[in-house]
Chain A
Amino acid sequence: MSEKPLPLDGNSAAGLLSELFAVEITGASITCDGCHHAAPIGAARLYGGRMGAVFRCAHCENVVVRLVRTPEGYWLEMKGARSLFVQARGD
Chain B
Amino acid sequence: MLATEKVQPTRKLPWRTATVREIIEETPRVRSLSLDIPDWPGHRPGQHVDIRLTSDDGYQAQRSYSIASAPEAAELLVTVERIEEGEVSPYLSSEVIVGDKFELRGPIGGHFVWSAFMTEPLFLVAGGSGVAPLMAMLRHRAAAGNKNPALLVYSSRSFDDIIYRKELAALAARSDGLKVVHTLTRQQPAGWTGEKKRIDPEMLSRVGFSPKEQPRIFICGPTQLVESAARALIELGHDAGLIKTERFGPTGA
Residues of A within 8 A of B (CB): 6-12, 14-15, 18-22, 24-27, 39-43, 50, 73-79, 81
A contact residues around B223 at 8 Å (CB): 6-8
* B12 in contact with A18 (CB, 8 Å): yes
* B10 in contact with A26 (CB, 8 Å): no
* B106 in contact with A15 (CB, 8 Å): yes
Q: Is B205 an interface residue (CB 8 A)?
A: no
Kindly name the residue among B4, B110, B245, B246 whose own CB sees the greatest number of chain A CB atoms within 10 A: B110
Pairs A-B, 4 closest by C-beta atoms: A42-B111, A27-B110, A24-B110, A14-B109
* A43 in contact with B7 (CB, 8 Å): no
A contact residues around B212 at 8 Å (CB): none
Beyond the given pairs A20-B7, A73-B6, 19 more chain A to chain B contacts, judged by CB atoms under 8 angstroms and listed by A's residue number, are A6-B249, A8-B223, A8-B247, A8-B248, A8-B249, A15-B50, A18-B12, A19-B12, A19-B13, A24-B109, A26-B109, A27-B110, A40-B111, A42-B109, A42-B110, A50-B62, A74-B6, A74-B9, A79-B3
A27-B111, A42-B110 known; A11 vs B5 contact (CB < 8 Å): no
Q: Is B82 an interface residue (CB 8 A)?
A: no
A52 CB to closest chain B CB, in angstroms? 13
A6-B223, A26-B111, A78-B1 known; A43 vs B9 contact (CB < 8 Å): no
* A74 in contact with B7 (CB, 8 Å): yes
Bitwise interface map of B from 155 to 199 toward A, beta carbon under 8 Å scored 1, else 0: 000000000000000000000000000000000000000000000
A contact residues around B12 at 8 Å (CB): 18-19, 21-22
Residues of B within 8 A of A (CB): 1, 3-13, 48, 50, 62, 64, 105-106, 108-112, 223-224, 241, 244-250
Q: Which residue of B lies closest to A73 (CB)?
A: B6
A contact residues around B244 at 8 Å (CB): 42-43
- Once bound together, how far apart are the Cα atoms of A43 and B248, in whole Å? 14
- Once bound together, how far apart are the Cα atoms of A41 and B111, in whole Å? 8
* Cβ contacts A to B, 9 pairs, < 8 Å: A8-B223, A8-B249, A10-B111, A14-B48, A27-B110, A40-B111, A76-B4, A76-B7, A77-B3
B contact residues around A11 at 8 Å (CB): 109, 111-112, 246
* A14 in contact with B108 (CB, 8 Å): yes
- Once bound together, how far apart are the Cα atoms of A77 and B6, in whole Å? 9
B172 CB to closest chain A CB, in angstroms? 27
* B108 in contact with A73 (CB, 8 Å): no
A85 CB to closest chain B CB, in angstroms? 14
B128 CB to closest chain A CB, in angstroms? 15
Q: Which residue of B lies closest to A66 (CB)?
A: B4
B contact residues around A42 at 8 Å (CB): 109-112, 244
Kindly name the residue among B3, B7, B11, B106 whose own CB sees the greatest number of chain A CB atoms within 10 A: B7
Kindly name the residue among B12, B108, B109, B244 whose own CB sees the greatest number of chain A CB atoms within 10 A: B109
A82 CB to closest chain B CB, in angstroms? 9
Q: Which of B62, B106, B247 contacts A7 (CB 8 A)?
A: B247
